[in-house]
Structure 1
Amino acid sequence: MKGLWNATAVTEFILLGFPSNQRFQNFLFLIFLISYLLTVTGNLVIITVIRVDLHLHRPMYFFLSNFSFMQICYVTVTVPKLLIGFLVRINRISISACFSQCYFFFFLGGIENFLLAIMAYDRYVAICHPLRYNAIMTPKLCWSLTCGCWLGIFLGSLLPVIFLARLSFCGPNIINHYFCDVSPLLKLSCSDTSLLKSNFFSLMWVIVFSCLLFTLVSYINIICAIMKIPSTVGRQKVFSTCGSHLTVVIIYFGAVIFMYVRPKDSYAFEEDKLISVFYSILTPLLNPFIYCLRNKEVKDAVQKIIQARKFIPGLSTQYK
């Protein structure tokens, strides 16, 4: 009976968020709202441009549109609940909603790792095997990679969260975070979490470092191929095709590794929240600007669409 009572003792959690005075809360609400709207809008622009411009119907941009869709979902998992927290005195979340948020955050984070690795492979084939690019990166392979990525992580993320949901929560129900992350949930549980903690973070490290290693190997080969190009202009032109993706890779993996590889006894949840803001909110905000400003083809496609909108009666003709 005790175990049953423990399992049902806590029916909801309270997300502590960023406690401060009301004026600063209002300021943070405005900042995060603007960031969220810019992130969603920027990624929708990228998806729309890729869909409209036939010149961008290539594997590189097919993966980029998937990446942008994932980013929209990623910020939508956490930011709306964070915004609510700035408007209410106590930001409550039910246990089922908490576990769902935790699942989708972990699931979409895994998708991000694999999509970055797939995009690195695409750049590797394009630069190191240009003559065989169309034969290798066929539509069938592109769909297989993306569908396998989404489906595989969707199913693979279920098991850890199922075990997490079976834990007992019978004590404090205040989560010192702005969303339901695994670490604070494990800390609140009155069950033995040592095995789950070990398995969960081992799985996470396998995902992160395997994707990072695959990405690094791809870029090492890319850099070696670029260095063999005799002209400086030629090297710059080839490198520009992967510059945007490389920038995103450095920002994302740098933040994630700093978040999860530090010794566990050397930091507090306050630091976790700040770092989480960087890789779960700031990085998705920067990505559309990085791909639009550093990618000439996307930038040109956006300019073509903007110019075409000035001639509404002959939109299709002007666009062509």
Structure 2
Amino acid sequence: MNRSSTHVTEFVLLGFPGSWKTQIFLFVLFLMFYILTLLGNGAIVCAVRCDSRLHTPMYFLLGNFAFLEIWYVSSTIPNILTNILSKTKAISFSGCFLQFYFAFSTCGSHLVVVSLFYGTVMVMYVSPTYGIPTLMQKILILVYSVMTPLFNPLIYSLRNKDMKLALRNVLLGMRIVKAI
């Protein structure tokens, strides 16, 4: 009996349908989300590090979570941006696994983030694909890979008065340094 085996080395990504102008718009939109996510989470890391009132276990965890969020979005969104403008839309098997490892291992300690992230993942991977239009699947993927990291700094920090004060001090300190 002749047995053959195939090894998956990459996945072909379908991307978003539309004209080149639509692709450029999506690229700019996701790039803005990426920059805002990096700035928001970076500000939290700086605030926790610089403000001695935030040197408690809760804020240490929050700072680490923000740092992990930076790593998470840096492993996914640049690939999304590259694939939006690329003619060949593919991702290697190892690259896909790395992204999954970052998205699944990030601990969600807030109900909204857990609902956004795991809720959309569950809809994507548990429900049958024939019942959900392809565009809706793509939108759900964007919610958990782009929107959730963008909202994490808001959800985790801006409801806390100590964090608000520390962020204000860090951001105003940056403005003062730039003026000098």
Residue aligned with 2:18, SS: coil
Structure 2 counterpart of 1:111, one-letter code: S
* 1:56 paired to 2:54: yes
Aligned counterpart, 1:24: 22
Take 1:311 and 1:264, find their aligned partners in 2: how far apart are those partners?
A: 53
Q: Which consecutive unaligned segments of at least 5 residues does structure 1 have?
A: 120-244, 313-320
Shift of residue 265, structure 1, vs aligned partner: 4.8
The alpha-carbon distance between structure 1 residues 310 and 16, as it changes in their structure 2 partners (threshold 3 A), is closer
- With the length of structure 2 as denominator, give the TM-score of the two structures: 0.82
Residue aligned with 1:37, SS: helix
* 1:301 paired to 2:162: no
What are the residue-to-residue correspondences of 1:2-21 with 2, within 5 Å? 3-4=4-5, 6-7=6-7, 12-21=10-19
Aligned counterpart, 1:42: 40
1:29 touches 1:86 (CA, 8 Å); kept in 2?
A: yes
Identity %: 40
2:102 corresponds to which of 95, 101, 108:
108
Deviations 1:241-271 (A, max 9, x none): xxxx344334334333433443555335443
Structure 1 counterpart of 2:99, one-letter code: F
The alpha-carbon distance between structure 1 residues 11 and 25, as it changes in their structure 2 partners (threshold 3 A), is same
With CA pairs under 8 Å and 6+ residues apart, which has the higher RCO, 1 or 2? 2
* 1:291 paired to 2:161: no
1:279 corresponds to which of 141, 144, 162:
144
Residue aligned with 2:4, SS: helix
Take 2:70 and 2:161, find their aligned partners in 1: how far apart are those partners?
A: 23
Aligned counterpart, 2:68: 70
RMSD (Å) for aligned C-alpha atoms: 2.5
Deviations 1:171-222 (A, max 9, x none): xxxxxxxxxxxxxxxxxxxxxxxxxxxxxxxxxxxxxxxxxxxxxxxxxxxx
Q: Which consecutive unaligned segments of at least 5 residues does structure 2 have?
A: none
Aligned counterpart, 1:197: none
Shift of residue 296, structure 1, vs aligned partner: 1.6
1:70 touches 1:111 (CA, 8 Å); kept in 2?
A: no
